[in-house]
Amino acid sequence: MADTTYLTWPFLDDRHRGFAADLSAWIGANTAALDAHDGDVDDICRGLVKKLGDAGWLKHAVAHPGKPIDVRTLCLAREHLAYCSGLADFAFAMQGLGSGAISLFGTDAQRAAYLGPVAAGKKIAAFALSEKNAGSDVAALAMTAEDADGGFVLNGEKTWISNGGIADFYCVFARTGEAPGAKGLSAFIVDADTPGFSISERITVSAPHPLATLSFKDCRIPATALIGGRGEGFKIAMSVLDVFRSTVGAAALGFARRALDEAAGRAIDRKLFGAPLFDLQMVQAYLAEMAVEVDASALLVYRAAWAKDSGQPRVTREAAMAKLYATDNAQKVIDKAVQIFGGMGVVSGVPVERLYREIRSLRIYEGASEVQKVVIARQLAAGYAKT
C-alpha cells in the first residue's frame, strides 16, 4: 500500500497503527497463499478461514467478554486483506457478519458455543436475512418460525447467502408474528446439520465466492437458538448491519487503493509517444481524481468506525454514508485504473480486471447504494423534524 499516511489520522489510536503494521507484515509474508483464486472456491474459502483463524486475525471479527467488536480494527483488517485478496477479505468479513448477531445480542451460552470456534476458524458462520422477495425490504420477509414443543419450527427459503454451502451455522431471521412487518421478526442460530435444513441451489457470480439458496422444511430448533428477544429480529439485523456496513466501505477502500497503486505504477512504467504515460495530463487528472476519491472514502469509513467505537449507540447515517460513498467511488477508481491499463486491463487475472469484477457486488450487498440513500435521507429528515 503506497500511502499509509491515513494511519496517523486522529480517528485511529496507537493500537490500530500497531495492528495495521502487524497485519501488513503478515500479509506480505503470506501473499501467495492469500491471493490464490484458482481452484474450487469452497476449498479456497475454507482454507482462508483456517489460515486467518490459525494466525489469530479472526479473533478481531467477534466480541469477547467485556470487549465489544472494535469497528476500526475490522475496517483496517478488511482494507488490508481486500488490497491483497478479495477472497481473504470475504473469508474474514463473513466470520464477523455471520456471528454478528451473537456478538451483539447472544446469551453467554451462545457466545461461548459459537464465538470461540468462529474466532479460531473452526466454525464457519453465515448471515441469512435475504429472501427472494425481501432483499432491500427486510420487513417483507416471509420465512416463518412457529412455536413447537418448547422450541421453534422453521419453514421457508433464504437466498443470496454468502458462505451458503460451507457454513457450519447460520444466523437466520424469520417471522414469529408478534406484530405485522418489522416488529414480528426474530433471529435464530441454525446449525447446518439440523434436519430439515438444506442447500437448494448454489449461485455462481462474476467474482466467485460461496453463495447459495437455503431451504428450511419443518426444521426444528430449540428455544435456546433464539438470539435476543422475540420480535427483535429486525432491530438485531439493522444493528449488525450498522456495524458491518462501514466495513464494506473499508473493503471497497482496499480495492480502490490497490487499483490506484496499480494504475500509478503502470503510468510511470509504460511509455507512450516517447515518454511515460504519466506525463499525459489526462492521465495525471485521472490519478488525481482517484487519489481524492480514495482519501474521501477513507475519511468517511474511519469516521463511521470511530463513531461506533466511541459509544454512539446508532451510527446508521455515518455507516450508510461510508458504504455508499466508498463502494460507488471504488467502482469509479477501478474503472479509471482499467482505462489506464488499456487492453491489459481486461485480461483475465490481471489485478485491475479482478478488482473490476470484485467491486461490483459491494454496491449491492448489505444494503444497495439506493437503500443507503433512503437511510441517509430519513436520518436527515429526522434531524430537521427535531429543529
Write the interaction track for ligand COS spanning residues 141-180; mark x where CB under 6 A is met and - where it is not.
Answer: ----------------------------------------
Q: Which stretch binds ligand COS (CB under 6 A): 217-225, 230-238, 282-290, 326-334?
A: 230-238
If one asks whether residue 26 binds ligand COS (CB under 6 A), the answer comes out as no
Query: What is the nearest approach in angstroms of ligand COS to the Cβ of residue 208?
Result: 17
Q: Which stretch binds ligand COS (CB under 6 A): 106-114, 168-176, 216-224, 235-243?
A: 235-243
Closer Cβ to ligand COS, 51 or 183, answer by number? 183
Question: CA 231, CA 260: separation in Å to the nearest integer?
Answer: 45
Query: What is the nearest approach in angstroms of ligand COS to the Cβ of residue 170?
Result: 13
Question: CA 63, CA 298: separation in Å to the nearest integer?
Answer: 24
Which of these is catalytic: 146, 178, 366, 370?
366
146 is catalytic: no
If one asks whether residue 241 binds ligand COS (CB under 6 A), the answer comes out as yes
Please identify which residue in the block is written with the cell numbers 496517523. Answer: 8
Exposed / middle / buried, residue 238 (Cβ in 10 Å: 0-12, 13-18, 19+): middle
142: left (phi over 0), alpha (psi -120 to 50) or beta: alpha
Among 239, 297, 331, 361, which residue interacts with ligand COS (rule: CB under 6 A)?
239
Exposed / middle / buried, residue 198 (Cβ in 10 Å: 0-12, 13-18, 19+): middle
The Cα-based distances of 348 to 33, 334, 338 in angstroms read 19, 15, 12
If one asks whether residue 314 binds ligand COS (CB under 6 A), the answer comes out as yes
Among 120, 139, 203, 299, which residue interacts with ligand COS (rule: CB under 6 A)?
139
* Identity of residue 172: V
Query: What is the nearest approach in angstroms of ligand COS to the Cβ of residue 241?
Result: 5
Residues 119-138 that bind ligand COS (CB under 6 A): 129-130, 135-138
Among 29, 374, 377, 380, which residue interacts with ligand COS (rule: CB under 6 A)?
374
Closer Cβ to ligand COS, 182 or 199, answer by number? 182
Among 35, 46, 357, 365, which residue interacts with ligand COS (rule: CB under 6 A)?
365
Among 170, 234, 278, 286, which residue interacts with ligand COS (rule: CB under 6 A)?
234
If one asks whether residue 242 binds ligand COS (CB under 6 A), the answer comes out as yes
If one asks whether residue 55 binds ligand COS (CB under 6 A), the answer comes out as no
Nearest to 192 by CA among 124, 92, 119, 129: 124
Closer Cβ to ligand COS, 63 or 138, answer by number? 138
Among 36, 153, 238, 291, which residue interacts with ligand COS (rule: CB under 6 A)?
238
Q: Which stretch binds ligand COS (CB under 6 A): 74-82, 150-158, 234-242, 263-271?
A: 234-242
Which residues contact ligand COS (rule: CB under 6 A)?
129-130, 135-139, 182, 234-235, 238-239, 241-242, 314, 316, 365-367, 371, 374-375
Which positions are catalytic? 366
